[in-house]
Chains A and B, each alone.
Chain A
């Protein structure tokens, strides 16, 4: 058995103080990620991450065993949150994995969409679509709309503007993704680009 540094810390902490907040929250059925009696963070690898909620930039530690996320908690070395997380941050694991309170079984969060879907005109529900087909169809629609609404010159001025498409969002993405979204949209000629910073 190998213990990572944090795993060792947790193991000692749990042994010394059963009232640690971590233990208290883990006692809630909704947060009981692991039913086994073994130490929770045994044989895990840790990856640092940053919270997905407010712009505090709190650090988190993601513990992974056998390629699966088994725990997520505040990064004690992070100068802003010093190991703490708010209720939302502390529940980030559930974005991926949830526990059945009755059986303790871990499953993927059923509310998450993990396959592309399409809703056809007039339809009352979704239907599945492959990534390949979705990308083909979207690219075709982008081209058709761009070609139909593109203004290359206006009053003698080159404007290269695609007026028929709008793009919204960006504050949820990582910065590299923001640049790629912006570069794609502006290169298509979009001007109706906005994101959460506007509201």
Chain B
């Protein structure tokens, strides 16, 4: 989220698209009710009339998987009706930047310039800006970048600062604005309605209502969830939302932002931690075999020429120093080479292809830490088969999940499966202490209330037992390069016992001199500005620095910022800056510089986050820009997005894999045969579609468009909620929702069981015949949509089911993220 839960109350317009707060984030929905009570307009765009739609002012049905057509039409509407926020767009975005003369998009092919058909990838060369002039870092003593040439700092050639050519009149045909306008001029209301299956009058009402948030003093918030991301163009969906918000000047405003309603308790923490193939903690990139082959390569390819990410070398060296401790020295590149290097591209080892590698016998051992892919991964019929090739599987969980028991699935023969499976029981959240982050980036603390029951153990203790045993084996026997195993610093003990508190020191960061973990003496850093690239500081997670910075009481969580419980709110905007700690730097609303105009005057007198008084910045929130340097206030400028090297936000972005502007493509499996907007039909960069296991179905065989979602009583694969009798009592089964029209067509009556199937699998579920789904006309053809919940499986004691809904979902992925397309696929149905 760019803002946080309590900020929703400040919105003037609310747009839910691909999310359902009232059902899936119910408590947070109260902040939307508060905005609504104050007069905010509330819009829900969703394939189904959800519980959130019931609360809203406007409900607009949409065919699942057509969000970019919807947003593209909104962009066009905003431009045609001149509703964009001119000063914001001109000064804070790259609208005025001139693009490379080779930049282009061809609607006939649906391709941008730079496409390579053989690899189905783009070269982004022509998506870059024209360069006006260049400048260089001053690394001489006393220079702004003197640190880069200081002793101990790894040698690297600093990047050249390119100053893009700009046309502040926005008239040049090659400027981003003109290209942008041209691109979305194709997205007229009739075309959007045909693709999305919408009613034109409703769509216009939605557009007019939301675009009203483009008034400088108004803010609109877009709330999204997996309904936006689980598509083969999910990352472009999120880009589309960003672009709309930039056009309307809604990013950085209280009550604005692009807000992911995240669904796992600490998924924010896991994302921050970079627990993904290509990622390094705190939004840095992991070493690879292409542009990050060495520490020097990393510095040169990753360090931004301008903006805050000029500091990346400090963050990486501090991370290496915390990882390897005394073994990390300037002479050995701080141990950089001990980190494994991911394969080129970094995609081959993500969740979808990992099952292919099990099938091929390449992956032989598997850890599942509280995750249940045999229920939650797409195409679970394939997942079970692939997992049966494993030599061993370790599941750390509180229940015997479908993954732990994949060999017991109704269609499996245990006698023929040679996998050794260990199930290690873990402690519950109130049986251990520790840190958890919410979707608004608040770092909060869980206090241990009771001891783990029976033999269950906290995950940190399980890690420690395993690691000490593995290390002992390498110490005693040697083996494949033991150095990384033996050199990793692992000294997170208090009184001889593994303890999360020293890990908190590691995450926060500390000065190496003056720190002795064994004696619980630690010189903690109070902000990431203190981190250095010369090995003098150690920090695993630079964005968190400051959350646990009290060196006087490093073992007492109560004395750290993350445990604060202050309710003070001088802004009146619900920032609650004295409650816990929000990364980075306790900032509550990201990009808050953009809440004020280029002269530093707040766009809205009622929503003041930062304000230039003429002499200094008055701030209610931690400034997300350079407000002062060396104690001297820095007057306002247009660097409102200083985490990018341009320091302006990107309407057009060269950083995406599948195109610089979001373009509508159809899902991998689509109920329509035409794409009126371009000749590519589905995304030209779709990933994994060539796997035989995806078993693509056509709309001739499977004419019904399907999607999946959750209910309030259950959570994800149901491992936790299906073990709670109260929740099973409230929601005992999984079901399909379908319209009365489709039910009549198929001869299905309320109370019937329904078989849902496609090439990948078949599931028998209960049925709910409901007006919440309505048939829609898509490109002139009557189209039925259905939806299914996905919380059940064969494992467990209560409310088990033979059928696995995710047997039906396709294992294809987004080219940027490899997130699977759970939200739009094809099925047929019949009375079971």
> Residues on A close to B: CB < 8 A?
28, 30-31, 47-59, 62, 64, 67-69, 72, 74, 77, 79-82, 84-89, 91-92, 94-96, 98, 108-124, 126, 129, 131, 134-143, 145-150, 152, 154-155, 157-199
Given contacts A138-B422, A178-B273, contact A88 B579 (CB under 8 A): no
Closest partner residue, chain B, to A154 (CB atom): B289
Once the chains bind, are B424 and A174 in contact (CB under 8 Å)?
no
Contact indicator per residue, chain B 771-807, by CB within 8 Å of chain A (1) or not (0): 0000000000000000000000000111000000000
Candidates A51, A135, A160; contact of B338 at CB < 8 Å: A160
Give Cα A154–Cα B369 distance, bound, in whole angstroms.
30
Give Cα A120–Cα B418 distance, bound, in whole angstroms.
7
Summarize A's interface: helix, strand, loop or mixed.
mixed
Contact indicator per residue, chain B 466-507, by CB within 8 Å of chain A (1) or not (0): 110110111001011100110010101000000010011011
Shortest CB-to-CB span from A46 to chain B, Å, is 8
Shortest CB-to-CB span from B413 to chain A, Å, is 9
Closest partner residue, chain B, to A79 (CB atom): B576
Contact indicator per residue, chain B 410-441, by CB within 8 Å of chain A (1) or not (0): 00001111111111110011111111111110
B552 CB-CB contact with A under 8 Å: no
Given contacts A137-B422, A159-B341, A175-B437, contact A122 B417 (CB under 8 A): yes
Closest partner residue, chain B, to A155 (CB atom): B289
Q: List 8 A-B contacts (CB under 8 A).
A: A48-B447, A79-B6, A113-B398, A137-B420, A169-B369, A170-B269, A190-B340, A191-B349
Shortest CB-to-CB span from B512 to chain A, Å, is 18
Closest partner residue, chain B, to A124 (CB atom): B414
Candidates A85, A120, A195; contact of B275 at CB < 8 Å: A195
B723 CB-CB contact with A under 8 Å: yes
Once the chains bind, are A175 and B723 in contact (CB under 8 Å)?
no
Give Cα A96–Cα B272 distance, bound, in whole angstroms.
29
Give Cα A148–Cα B454 distance, bound, in whole angstroms.
36
Shortest CB-to-CB span from A102 to chain B, Å, is 12
Once the chains bind, are A57 and B440 in contact (CB under 8 Å)?
yes
Once the chains bind, are A55 and B262 in contact (CB under 8 Å)?
yes
Closest partner residue, chain B, to A53 (CB atom): B715
**Chain B interfacial residues counted at CB < 8 A:** 163
B694 CB-CB contact with A under 8 Å: no
Give Cα A94–Cα B453 distance, bound, in whole angstroms.
13
Given A56-B5, A87-B713, 9 further pairs, Cβ under 8 A: A64-B449, A95-B724, A138-B394, A141-B420, A173-B459, A179-B281, A179-B540, A180-B464, A186-B340
Once the chains bind, are B289 and A157 in contact (CB under 8 Å)?
yes
Given contacts A30-B725, A55-B265, A123-B414, contact A77 B565 (CB under 8 A): yes
Once the chains bind, are B371 and A169 in contact (CB under 8 Å)?
yes
B817 CB-CB contact with A under 8 Å: yes
Given contacts A62-B449, A91-B724, A117-B423, contact A191 B340 (CB under 8 A): yes
Candidates A50, A114, A170; contact of B453 at CB < 8 Å: A114
Given contacts A168-B368, A192-B363, contact A68 B447 (CB under 8 A): no
Candidates A49, A109, A161, A196; contact of B341 at CB < 8 Å: A161
Shortest CB-to-CB span from B642 to chain A, Å, is 25
Contact indicator per residue, chain B 796-823, by CB within 8 Å of chain A (1) or not (0): 1110000000000000000001111010
Shortest CB-to-CB span from B471 to chain A, Å, is 9
Give Cα A8–Cα B337 distance, bound, in whole angstroms.
59
Once the chains bind, are B367 and A167 in contact (CB under 8 Å)?
yes
Give Cα A91–Cα B687 distance, bound, in whole angstroms.
40
Once the chains bind, are B460 and A189 in contact (CB under 8 Å)?
no
Closest partner residue, chain B, to A113 (CB atom): B425
- 10 smallest beta-carbon distances between A and B, as pairs: A57-B438, A174-B434, A172-B370, A169-B371, A169-B369, A150-B480, A114-B454, A171-B264, A176-B503, A176-B500
Once the chains bind, are B450 and A80 in contact (CB under 8 Å)?
no
Once the chains bind, are A198 and B446 in contact (CB under 8 Å)?
no
Give Cα A142–Cα B425 distance, bound, in whole angstroms.
19
A109 partner residues in chain B, CB cutoff 8 A: 723-724
Closest partner residue, chain A, to B451 (CB atom): A67
Shortest CB-to-CB span from A56 to chain B, Å, is 5
B695 CB-CB contact with A under 8 Å: no
Shortest CB-to-CB span from A144 to chain B, Å, is 8
Once the chains bind, are B500 and A181 in contact (CB under 8 Å)?
no
Most chain B C-beta atoms within 10 Å of own C-beta, residue among A122, A186, A192: A192
Closest partner residue, chain A, to B580 (CB atom): A57
Once the chains bind, are A181 and B275 in contact (CB under 8 Å)?
yes
A186 partner residues in chain B, CB cutoff 8 A: 339-340
Shortest CB-to-CB span from B27 to chain A, Å, is 5
Given contacts A139-B470, A174-B432, A194-B277, contact A179 B503 (CB under 8 A): yes
Once the chains bind, are A172 and B724 in contact (CB under 8 Å)?
no
Shortest CB-to-CB span from B211 to chain A, Å, is 29
B730 CB-CB contact with A under 8 Å: yes
Once the chains bind, are B275 and A193 in contact (CB under 8 Å)?
yes
Shortest CB-to-CB span from B366 to chain A, Å, is 5
B700 CB-CB contact with A under 8 Å: no
Shortest CB-to-CB span from A58 to chain B, Å, is 5
B276 CB-CB contact with A under 8 Å: yes
B123 CB-CB contact with A under 8 Å: no
Once the chains bind, are A169 and B449 in contact (CB under 8 Å)?
no
B182 CB-CB contact with A under 8 Å: no
Given contacts A57-B437, A172-B371, contact A112 B723 (CB under 8 A): yes
Give Cα A49–Cα B431 distance, bound, in whole angstroms.
10
Give Cα A197–Cα B371 distance, bound, in whole angstroms.
11
Once the chains bind, are B423 and A55 in contact (CB under 8 Å)?
no
Given contacts A88-B715, A126-B423, A187-B488, contact A176 B273 (CB under 8 A): no
B362 CB-CB contact with A under 8 Å: yes
Shortest CB-to-CB span from B394 to chain A, Å, is 6
Once the chains bind, are B418 and A122 in contact (CB under 8 Å)?
yes
Give Cα A121–Cα B398 distance, bound, in whole angstroms.
22
B171 CB-CB contact with A under 8 Å: no
A120 partner residues in chain B, CB cutoff 8 A: 420
B377 CB-CB contact with A under 8 Å: yes
Shortest CB-to-CB span from B94 to chain A, Å, is 28
Most chain A C-beta atoms within 10 Å of own C-beta, residue among B270, B432, B458: B270
Once the chains bind, are A111 and B399 in contact (CB under 8 Å)?
yes
Once the chains bind, are B436 and A174 in contact (CB under 8 Å)?
yes
Closest partner residue, chain B, to A25 (CB atom): B726
Given contacts A152-B481, A175-B266, contact A86 B27 (CB under 8 A): yes
Once the chains bind, are A172 and B726 in contact (CB under 8 Å)?
no
Candidates B270, B339, B357, B358; contact of A171 at CB < 8 Å: B270
Closest partner residue, chain B, to A142 (CB atom): B470
B721 CB-CB contact with A under 8 Å: yes
Once the chains bind, are B500 and A118 in contact (CB under 8 Å)?
no
Given contacts A88-B721, A161-B341, contact A199 B230 (CB under 8 A): yes
Once the chains bind, are B371 and A168 in contact (CB under 8 Å)?
yes
Give Cα A120–Cα B490 distance, bound, in whole angstroms.
32
B136 CB-CB contact with A under 8 Å: no
A80 partner residues in chain B, CB cutoff 8 A: 5-6, 27-28, 438
Once the chains bind, are A95 and B466 in contact (CB under 8 Å)?
no
Given contacts A57-B437, A94-B725, A152-B480, contact A170 B713 (CB under 8 A): no
Shortest CB-to-CB span from A141 to chain B, Å, is 5
Candidates B273, B351, B579, B820; contact of A179 at CB < 8 Å: B273
Given contacts A87-B712, A176-B507, contact A108 B484 (CB under 8 A): no
Candidates B455, B565, B721, B817; contact of A114 at CB < 8 Å: B455
Contact indicator per residue, chain B 108-119, by CB within 8 Å of chain A (1) or not (0): 000000000000
Give Cα A112–Cα B49 distance, bound, in whole angstroms.
36
Give Cα A57–Cα B437 distance, bound, in whole angstroms.
7
Closest partner residue, chain B, to A115 (CB atom): B455
Candidates B420, B504, B712; contact of A176 at CB < 8 Å: B504
Shortest CB-to-CB span from B114 to chain A, Å, is 27
Give Cα A96–Cα B540 distance, bound, in whole angstroms.
33
Given contacts A55-B267, A98-B725, A184-B463, contact A196 B371 (CB under 8 A): yes
B682 CB-CB contact with A under 8 Å: no
Once the chains bind, are A56 and B725 in contact (CB under 8 Å)?
no
A53 partner residues in chain B, CB cutoff 8 A: 265, 715, 720
Once the chains bind, are B481 and A192 in contact (CB under 8 Å)?
no
